[in-house]
A and B are shown apart, each in its own frame.
Chain A
Amino acid sequence: MGILNLALKKFHGGVHPKENKDLAKHCPIEELPMPKRLYVPLQQHSGTACEPCVKPGDKVFKGQLIGRTIANVSSPVHAPTSGTIEAILDHVVGHYSGLTDQCVVLLPDGNDQWDPSLKGLDNPFEADSKAIRDKVRDAGVVGLGGAVYPTHIKLSPPRGKPVDVMLINGVECEPYITNDTRIMEERSREIVEGAQLMMRAIQCSSCLICIEANKPGAIQAMEKAVEGVPNFRVVVLPVRYPQGAKNQLIEAITHRQVPSGGRSTDTGATVQNVATSAAVRDAVLYGRPLIRRVVTVSGRGIVRPANLDVPIGTPIQDLIDHCGGLKPGVQQIIMNGPMMGTALHDLQSPVVKATAAVLAFMPNEIHNEPEQPCIRCGNCLEVCPVELTPCEIVWRAKHDLIDQLPEVHVKDCIECGSCAYACPANIPLVHYIRYGKMAVAAKRNEKEKTEMTRLRNQAKLARLEAEKAEKERKKEEMRLASEARKKAAAAAPKPAADAPAAPAAPAPTSTVESHS
């Protein structure tokens, strides 16, 4: 336990935006009535999209698999309630682009009947790592803090990298959002049980539940829940954004930095969100897949802010309607927090596993000022939690100096938004950085494609050449053979013994399709 001296370290930079958690932090979690229709996207996690395994007209149970994984880094999708599959179509999802993605449309039958084949482990708290991991994988559990990385992969630390400590992330540093606060207050036992199961899976002996000081209710509840539980402790952190980001939390607690491009287990720590922990418990104890989540509906544009327990796939509009609708003059509606969330184009976008909040903003809550020239004040450097030079990245992105972007480490940006939040010139730094990241990737792809084109073309030319040579050779052989025959015929009237010359044509040259 040498790692746990618990002198908290300040990670670099960070900001303290107005918390605005009062709007919803006292609202108990309430269950949303079953919507008329659910749109369940087949990609709700980071990794490869699922393949639908139901077809229109199929009847499904609650918790039945509807999208199966076809790759390693992926996570299955399940029916949030019992009902009929109406269609599999492209439907708008809460993406920055406002574009559509493949969704399974489910008409609930109102019975909400669980799939009878779903079962938990018999002795969950004595189960071995693999059994727990498999249950978590089959239940489609992903990180609910926002990254939606498949949890079963995080529960398989690489060999030779022991995990000393598991951090249960109840930091919830984004303003407005209170769903984790409520989960900690109302489901603290479940979180602890889920954490115990995950600790078994990764063979880790201690667990710290990390909560920022602005959530006294959650701290109290969690402290009560861990009373008498060995190796558990609640850690209270000073309020600072983005402390809930995995790498910053690890730095604050362990004083170590996750190597660039590495995994958190390189520091001997792993981070799991509180809601993920509760989901792991349901998966392992009862075999229940992740089909619901708690969503904070807040912002000054919402008539009655609330914390709702909603089925995945519920259109955002249904949540807003349940909360009394929008106030007149709402300017912007976003999914997730005001620092890292996504502006919604369309309220028919469904709730997904990554949806922690839906916020409706009035014009005075959000930033509307026009961009000014950079005055090089250095605020962005001061607040950047990963110690980048954001203004220099922006300069390069703005002037399309794409080749120079890697040298200022554009890839290491976590897009936390602190720089843009603190910029006196109102420069949308995160927007420029996203543009820059994509431009770098696009350029690399284009280069790769050009290279592939060249190789394929050379392969084709080589093949044609070989085919031509082969033809020539055959022709030559035929000629020689016929000459030989003629000669033989001329020399002796008997048919030649070596007659049907030409050995069988050689196998096609190896260049064919060698690059496909």
Chain B
Amino acid sequence: MSMTSLKISSSPFVHDGTSIPAIMQAVIWSLLPAAALGVMVFGWSALFVMLITTLACVITERILNAIRSRPSTIGDQSAALTGLLLAMTMPSNSPWWLCVVGGVFAILLGKQLYGGLGYNMFNPALIARVFLLISFPVQMTTWPAPVPLLSEHAHTLSEGLAMILSAPFGTPELLDALSTATPLGQYRTETGMGHTVREALGGNFGFDLFSAATGLIKGSLGETSAILLTLGGIYLLRKRIITWHIPITMLLGCIVPAIIFWLIDPTKYPDPLFHLVTGGLIIGAFFMATDMVTSPVTPMGQIIFGLGCGILTYLIRTWGGYPEGVSFAIVIMNATVPLIDQYSRPVTYGKKKSA
């Protein structure tokens, strides 16, 4: 055979077949049960929020590929995943333009301006969520009460779509009537007024742990079901796409201070299970903080990073200016990743002090 036709490359010549699209797809799969539950609990509008946000992300990605004259990267599915994650942290009745603004921001400013996948410093979905939270606080913190799909007040498909599309720009007054506080919001508002945790969450508010764990509570459309999200996280752990380091340490970082303060004063500080099942702690620990690009690569670094995310979450939830702190905590920790990585390198073979 002709010698020039032989392929020349460096070893190794074989590969285990993993790929970026496969990883992204697995993460999307693991999110779908919780997303489906979001639709079940909040109605069709949740589905449209997810579709519009995801589409906005994918289209923005494609346009920016074209502008930068790079080959299309929508095939790696990272843009779709960003869109889905962002949507899952938004209220189920978010107006369409909010979804579009969020999606475009996530990909344009959160990812492509840094150079695309692998070069961004902050988790694009979270940085977009933080941006929306600061720019449109009313829309982002006005959660509709659950209207389950099969309940008697359930919206039809077209009603759901109309809800998203007809929402006006600016601050809507209509929504106020629908809205109620999330458990975390309720806890902060009421304890801020001098009530005890029991008074805040019991009584009319009627918080119960079971509904919170299964996702039948007010909140962003995809982050309410602690159980389904945990199952998704376990799936990722089993597939070895994520390792235990970040999720476990992030949960511990939030739970351990929660236990301590709850033991000190249970009337002022809610119990740790409340922290675990409400808000975005689970989705944050398994899906947001574990974003590979924006978390440390070293195992020790991941532990530090996870603990940092968890502790910051607790601090913000308990004493910060916002009722929920997962997004802020992770975004802040994202900024520390290069530093963490540099100082947490493993000891190379043969370089341990005591041989």
Q: Is B117 an interface residue (CB 8 A)?
A: yes
User: Which residues does chain B contribute within 8 Å of A15, judged by CB atoms?
Assistant: 16
Chain A interface secondary structure, helix, strand, loop or mixed? Answer: loop
With contact pairs A259-B350, A389-B297 given, residues A421 and B16 touching in the complex (Cβ less than 8 Å):
yes
Q: Is A369 an interface residue (CB 8 A)?
A: yes
User: Which residues does chain B contribute within 8 Å of A147, judged by CB atoms?
Assistant: none
Instruction: Check if B293 sits within 8 Å of A375, measured CB to CB.
Output: yes
Q: Of A256, A330, A361, A382, which is within 8 A of B355 by CB?
A: A256
Instruction: Check if B352 sits within 8 Å of A430, measured CB to CB.
Output: no
Instruction: Check if A342 sits within 8 Å of B11, measured CB to CB.
Output: yes
User: Which residues does chain B contribute within 8 Å of A175, judged by CB atoms?
Assistant: 14
Instruction: Check if A389 sits within 8 Å of B15, measured CB to CB.
Output: no
Q: Is A46 an interface residue (CB 8 A)?
A: no
Whole-angstrom CA separation of A338 from B293 in the bound complex: 29
Shortest Cβ distance from residue B289 to the other chain A in the assembled complex, whole angstroms = 13
Instruction: Check if B12 sits within 8 Å of A420, measured CB to CB.
Output: yes
Stretch at the interface among A275-283, A408-416, A449-457, A498-506: A408-416
Q: Which of B1-48 contact A (CB under 8 A)?
A: 1, 3, 6-16, 18-20, 22-23
Whole-angstrom CA separation of A263 from B352 in the bound complex: 15
Residue of A nearest to B10 (CB): A431
Instruction: Check if B350 sits within 8 Å of A260, measured CB to CB.
Output: yes
Q: Is A347 an interface residue (CB 8 A)?
A: yes
Shortest Cβ distance from residue B173 to the other chain A in the assembled complex, whole angstroms = 44
Q: Is B76 an interface residue (CB 8 A)?
A: yes
Q: Of A98, A345, A378, A409, which is within 8 A of B243 by CB?
A: A378
Q: Of A257, A381, A415, which is within 8 A of B11 by CB?
A: A415
Q: Is A247 an interface residue (CB 8 A)?
A: yes
User: Which residues does chain B contribute within 8 Å of A408, judged by CB atoms?
Assistant: 345
Instruction: Check if B11 sits within 8 Å of A417, measured CB to CB.
Output: yes
Shortest Cβ distance from residue B204 to the other chain A in the assembled complex, whole angstroms = 47
Instruction: Check if B346 sits within 8 Å of A387, measured CB to CB.
Output: yes
Shortest Cβ distance from residue B292 to the other chain A in the assembled complex, whole angstroms = 4
Instruction: Check if B349 sits within 8 Å of A247, measured CB to CB.
Output: yes
Instruction: Check if B13 sits within 8 Å of A98, measured CB to CB.
Output: no
Q: Is B214 an interface residue (CB 8 A)?
A: no
Residue of B nearest to A390 (CB): B297
User: Which residues does chain A contribute within 8 Å of B352, judged by CB atoms?
Assistant: 257
Whole-angstrom CA separation of A415 from B12 in the bound complex: 9
Instruction: Check if A344 sits within 8 Å of B6, measured CB to CB.
Output: yes
Shortest Cβ distance from residue A365 to the other chain B in the assembled complex, whole angstroms = 7
Shortest Cβ distance from residue A14 to the other chain B in the assembled complex, whole angstroms = 12
Q: Is B322 an interface residue (CB 8 A)?
A: no
Instruction: Check if B23 sits within 8 Å of A377, measured CB to CB.
Output: yes
Q: Is A52 an interface residue (CB 8 A)?
A: no
Shortest Cβ distance from residue B305 to the other chain A in the assembled complex, whole angstroms = 12
Instruction: Check if B19 sits within 8 Å of A373, measured CB to CB.
Output: no
Q: Is B298 an interface residue (CB 8 A)?
A: yes
Question: Which 4 interchain pairs have the tightest Cβ spacing?
Answer: A417-B12, A373-B118, A431-B10, A260-B350
The 26 sampled A-B contact pairs (Cβ below 8 Å) are A17-B16, A98-B8, A251-B349, A258-B349, A267-B355, A331-B7, A339-B12, A339-B13, A339-B14, A345-B3, A367-B12, A372-B20, A373-B116, A373-B118, A378-B299, A379-B18, A386-B348, A386-B349, A389-B298, A417-B12, A421-B15, A424-B22, A425-B20, A430-B10, A431-B10, A434-B10
